[in-house]
A = this chain, B = another copy of it.
Amino acid sequence: MAASKLAAEPAKQYYSYNQIHALIQSSIPSFKDVPDALVAISGGGLIPARILRTLLKARYKKTVPIRVIGLQLYDDDAEHIGATGVKRTQWPCADEWGDVRNVLLVDEVDDTRTTLEYAVENLRRDLGKGVSIGVFVVHNKLKEKRGTLPKEVEYIAALDVEDLWVVYPWDAVDIEEHQQKCDEQR
């Protein structure tokens, strides 16, 4: 009984805030150009985007503005479901994009790629063909993806990981207990 329960639960990988911050910093050398807008996918992308803004500023001496899009995968509460199973909860109005030429989508984890596919398609529709779109995620899970990204989309993952359960610090209730688990896994 205990053994089968263990087998059914995916192993958890704990990350501290400082580890995430350092991971994002380690990915900065991969940027060919500084984007002129960060597009955070809420809720997962909010914290990585805010950290990324600081690190891009230190590297490129430019404050890159953040815009937020609210997306969630289909669940029972969803009222407006797109064909892909993605619900849109917030999206900037046309004049809020400004004169962007090079945007970078930001999320915490690339799991099935469904949300990222939806976001790229809809950004492309809003921003037109001339705008370059990139994707940045903290973790990319090495697994078969349901969504796909166009070839021209530059893709940066701070870290590739196995298909485990990634536990982010912002999902912790007791942050000291979470930190202890991170320390034990180091």
A residues at B contact (CB < 8 Å): 16-18, 21-22, 25, 40, 42-43, 46-47, 49-51, 53-55, 58, 65-68, 70, 89-93, 96, 169-176, 179
- Give chain B residues whose Cβ lies under 8 Å from the Cβ of A53: 43
Q: Which 6 A-B pairs have the closest CB atoms?
A: A17-B17, A68-B68, A21-B175, A46-B46, A58-B173, A46-B50
- Give chain B residues whose Cβ lies under 8 Å from the Cβ of A90: 67-68, 92, 96
A18 to B172, CA, bound (A): 10
The smallest C-beta distance from A142 to any residue of chain B, in angstroms, reads: 26
Interface contact B18-A46, CB-CB below 8 Å: no
- Give chain B residues whose Cβ lies under 8 Å from the Cβ of A91: 93, 96
Interface contact B70-A179, CB-CB below 8 Å: no
Q: Which of A18, A53, A58, A70 has the most CB of B within 10 A?
A: A18
Interface contact A25-B175, CB-CB below 8 Å: yes
A49 to B68, CA, bound (A): 13
A60 to B35, CA, bound (A): 39
Which one, B16, B49, B55, B172, contacts A46 given CB within 8 A?
Answer: B49
Interface contact A18-B21, CB-CB below 8 Å: no
- Give chain B residues whose Cβ lies under 8 Å from the Cβ of A68: 42, 46, 68, 70, 90
Interface contact B54-A176, CB-CB below 8 Å: no
A46-B46, A46-B47, A90-B96 given as contacts; is B54 within 8 A of A173 (CB)?
Answer: yes
- Kindly report which residue of chain B lies nearest to residue A173, judged by CB atoms: B58
A42-B66, A68-B68 given as contacts; is B50 within 8 A of A170 (CB)?
Answer: yes
A169 to B17, CA, bound (A): 9
A21 to B173, CA, bound (A): 9
A92 to B173, CA, bound (A): 29
